[in-house]
Chains A and B, each alone.
Chain A
Amino acid sequence: MFTTGSKLFLGATALSIVSAIVFGASVGGSAGMLGTIGLISVSVVFAFLAGINLFTRDGNLAATESDVERNAAAAQAGVGRSMWPLAAALGAGGLVVGTISKPVVFKVSFIVLLAAAAEWMVQGFSERVSADSKYNEGIRKRLLHPLEFPLLASVGAAVFIYSFSRIMLNIDKDAGRWVFMVIGAIITAVGFVFAAKRGMGKSTVAGIITVGALALVGVGIASAVSGQHPIEPHPAATAAVCLGTASEVQIEEVDAKASQSVAAKSNPLANVYLTSDEQLYALNTGIGNVQYHEITVPRSNAVHVLFHNDSAEPRRLTVHLGTFKAKDGSEGSEEAECTTALEKGGTAFLSFKINKSQLASSTPYRLTVPGVEDQEIKLLVP
């Protein structure tokens, strides 16, 4: 008289009641209290669901007529062979090994286990759909292909892309260009040949593709093993350049940090303007049109300031990040960061973070423009 669905929920109810009792008895304090209340709530929910399923009989009139199911022709067929129990066992084993060795083993095993469970379940189901095994196989495919195809395709694409990227990272920048062009040309050419020669056998096509794929993956693995070509960092402006005490070296990108946080661009703490007559002021985000000459900066907080240069000269904005005693007690030198030199009308981001109170520094924190005298914006760091 109990339907399948209600059995599940009744079981879950019983389990959660037992867990509530065990948990409540064994864990003390407020955690025990909270956990027990949680588990009791869970059991109430399960009991409620069980009740609904009982009342509606799973919304499935045939659910209670189990004789029909047992005697059906489909139920009489033998069970076919399956590789999924083996795969599931491997996955479960890997799971255990993964917990004590590497997390990646655990993750892969988990995926294998999931996939095997799904495949096994659907196979078990499809073998009992009808007495006709061909039809059953069709049902299995119909259920699983929409899952299997995209999954296998994305695994394939991932392997392809990963191998290719390893190759590109391994070879030199200029050679890379040629390799890219040549491989692209070969793939296009092969595609043309396939399209033109309609009579070509299926196995020939498969053979060619397999050889190509194996070559790619092989070279990819070899490249991954031999490592990357060195990547040169962008040159950064030294504090001396920012403070205007060293002469300019042409720098392509200075504010490497700002480009790393794309979000910064929509969220500046303030906009700083250098007017055409070389006056410096800030608009504080949130307050309309009041010109500020000081900005309050919370400590240990990465902040972003957007600099607009409206003066005729190329100008950069420099943040003075203070002067601190070195560990050995000797007087340090002033730290600073800056934007690139901007032409008239240019804007650039300056991102910085100040960890210490202004009292800790022997020089004030502030924003200045090297080459423009008597203009500054104080940075207040409490």
Chain B
Amino acid sequence: MDRSKETVSTLGRMPSTRRHWSRAALLTSVGLMLAGCANNAPQDIFEPKGENSKKIDTLQRPVFYIAGVVALIVIGVVGYAMWKFKDRGQDIPEQTHGNPKLEIALTILPAIILAGISVPTVITVFQLDKKTDAECIINVTGQQWWWEYDYATGQCGDVKIDKPIVTAGELVIPEKTNVLLRITSRDVIHSYWIPALNGKRDAVPGRLHTLRMQADQPGIYTGQCTEFCGLSHSRMRQAAVALTAGDFQKWVDNQMKDYVAPEAGSLAAEGEAVFTANCSKCHQINDLKNADGSPVLSEPDLYVVPGVAPNLSHLMNRTAFAGWTFDLLTDECRVKLWNAKPADFGAMYLKGITPECFEQVALRDWLRNPPGMKPMFVDPNNLSSTGGKYRGMPNLNLKPDQIDQLIAYLLGRN
């Protein structure tokens, strides 16, 4: 019997109610897809703001378009086949097996496309890997769940850095300067990514990976850790702030300035005492002195798993804290800063967190109960698995008036 003439099924056509359903489903999925688009997305990979990300962009756009066309053709053909040869009780269409000409063509065509794409890809990969033309070096170290920046001494663009600078969360760089990040990790693998400035780079313990950073204009460029690194991975964010050479010099000068002790008898002075007693064993504040004049030295290696805690000397010169996740700026001030014109940005940024712009709620919550805001692995009642150390900041059971004093003290750390 000739099978192609056989009728395979007598099932009827799809009833019209079902067609309504499938149309509704289609509309819903298109709606859901469009909901993914936003016009105010700071981490848009299609909006490069620096030399390196622009190189990636010039590569990825054509590839994306070619891939898009290929996808449309494939989806179209599959869709057409599904529709055209759907079982309506008709005869089985003619069956063919093997078509050397078509198969060879369909092997060669993708091979040509891939070979074509590989040439600019390899060139770009090598350009992005170059590490001999850096004008500034910054060591970037990830740990659960925040990034630390150590500025190596020496030239950074036009600015000379005499003493190492240590900050957290917010990377400050001079604009139009080839900055080389040397990235590593103190615990698990993390990944550093500022989409507007370059691709991602894994931070692997024991390895040093370099990543070029260059921003064309002053501004704030956000990112987040992109390698799952534990419970609070989503609260491990970061930003890069680019400043003009002049403003960068001011920022460096501010980092170098002497410790400003709070006025004796003030609330902030009480805060200093609370800090020395409760916080300084983990957090360094440069040049903070004990009553006897000896330096207050932090020893986070004894208390936290990765052996470091953020340096708080200039906390109020960053706009967010704890893995750059919670705001120190009020909504109003943040929006102003983020939308500032490049020419005005630096001056606004260098003001730091002024009392009018200080968003206290998150910081107070943080001091009250850090693990409540950032889930952390280690059970404070059972630290045996980590050799008696905490991961992240523990709850220190501070009293409300201690928190008031600390807030007053920290507000002066700019």
A295 / chain B contacts, CB cutoff of 8 Å: 152
Please provide the 9 A-B residue pairs with the shortest distance between their CB atoms, ordered closest to farther.
A300-B307, A355-B301, A296-B152, A267-B208, A288-B132, A382-B164, A286-B180, A298-B150, A286-B134
What residue in chain A is nearest B296 (Cβ atoms)?
A359
What residue in chain A is nearest B234 (Cβ atoms)?
A34
CB neighbors of B among A264-302 (8 A)? 264, 266-269, 284-288, 290, 292, 294-296, 298-302
A225 / chain B contacts, CB cutoff of 8 Å: none
Contact of B209 among A267, A288, A298, A301 (CB under 8 A): A267
Is B82 within 8 A of A355, CB to CB? Answer: no
Is B210 within 8 A of A380, CB to CB? Answer: no
A285 / chain B contacts, CB cutoff of 8 Å: 131, 182, 208, 210
A381 / chain B contacts, CB cutoff of 8 Å: 164
Cα A290 to Cα B137 in complex, Å, equals 13
A319 → B minimal CB distance (Å): 17
What residue in chain B is nearest A360 (Cβ atoms)?
B297
Cα A267 to Cα B139 in complex, Å, equals 13
For B, the interface residue count at a CB cutoff of 8 angstroms equals 53
Is B208 within 8 A of A51, CB to CB? Answer: no
What residue in chain A is nearest B86 (Cβ atoms)?
A56
Cα A204 to Cα B22 in complex, Å, equals 68
Contact of B306 among A44, A261, A287, A300 (CB under 8 A): A300
Cα A336 to Cα B180 in complex, Å, equals 30
Which size bracket describes the interface of A in this complex? 35 or more
Is A47 within 8 A of B133, CB to CB? Answer: no
Is A264 within 8 A of B133, CB to CB? Answer: no
Could you name 21 residue pairs across A and B whose Cβ atoms are closer than 8 Å?
A44-B32, A51-B25, A54-B18, A55-B14, A61-B8, A64-B9, A65-B9, A263-B204, A263-B206, A267-B207, A268-B208, A286-B132, A286-B137, A287-B137, A296-B164, A300-B301, A301-B141, A302-B206, A304-B208, A355-B307, A382-B163
What residue in chain A is nearest B131 (Cβ atoms)?
A286
Asked whether any CB of chain A lies closer than 8 Å to the CB of B230, the reply is no
Contact status of A286 and B210, CB under 8 A, knowing A298-B139, A357-B298, A382-B163: yes
Interface residues of A (CB under 8 A from B): 44, 47-48, 51, 54-57, 61, 64-65, 261, 263-264, 266-269, 284-288, 290, 292, 294-296, 298-302, 304, 355-357, 359-360, 380-382
Contact of B308 among A284, A286, A299, A359 (CB under 8 A): A299
A2 → B minimal CB distance (Å): 12
Contact status of A359 and B297, CB under 8 A, knowing A264-B206, A284-B137, A296-B152: yes
Is A296 within 8 A of B151, CB to CB? Answer: yes
Is A57 within 8 A of B87, CB to CB? Answer: yes
Asked whether any CB of chain A lies closer than 8 Å to the CB of B65, the reply is no
Is A284 within 8 A of B152, CB to CB? Answer: yes
B9 / chain A contacts, CB cutoff of 8 Å: 61, 64-65
A286 / chain B contacts, CB cutoff of 8 Å: 131-132, 134, 137, 180, 182, 210
Cα A285 to Cα B164 in complex, Å, equals 17
CB neighbors of A among B17-37 (8 A)? 18, 21-22, 25, 28-29, 32
Interface string of B301-323 (1 = CB under 8 A from A): 10000111001000000000000
Contact of B186 among A301, A356, A382 (CB under 8 A): A301
Asked whether any CB of chain A lies closer than 8 Å to the CB of B299, the reply is yes
Contact status of A382 and B208, CB under 8 A, knowing A48-B29, A356-B297, A357-B284: no
B8 / chain A contacts, CB cutoff of 8 Å: 61
Asked whether any CB of chain A lies closer than 8 Å to the CB of B329, the reply is no
Max count, chain B CB within 10 A of own CB: residue among A61, A267, A292: A267
A56 / chain B contacts, CB cutoff of 8 Å: 82
B302 → A minimal CB distance (Å): 8
Contact status of A356 and B154, CB under 8 A, knowing A61-B87, A298-B139, A382-B164: no
Contact status of A292 and B154, CB under 8 A, knowing A51-B21, A263-B204: yes
B152 / chain A contacts, CB cutoff of 8 Å: 284, 295-296
What residue in chain B is nearest A54 (Cβ atoms)?
B18
Interface string of B132-145 (1 = CB under 8 A from A): 11100101010000
B299 / chain A contacts, CB cutoff of 8 Å: 355-356, 360
B87 / chain A contacts, CB cutoff of 8 Å: 57, 61
B208 / chain A contacts, CB cutoff of 8 Å: 267-269, 285, 304
Asked whether any CB of chain A lies closer than 8 Å to the CB of B58, the reply is no
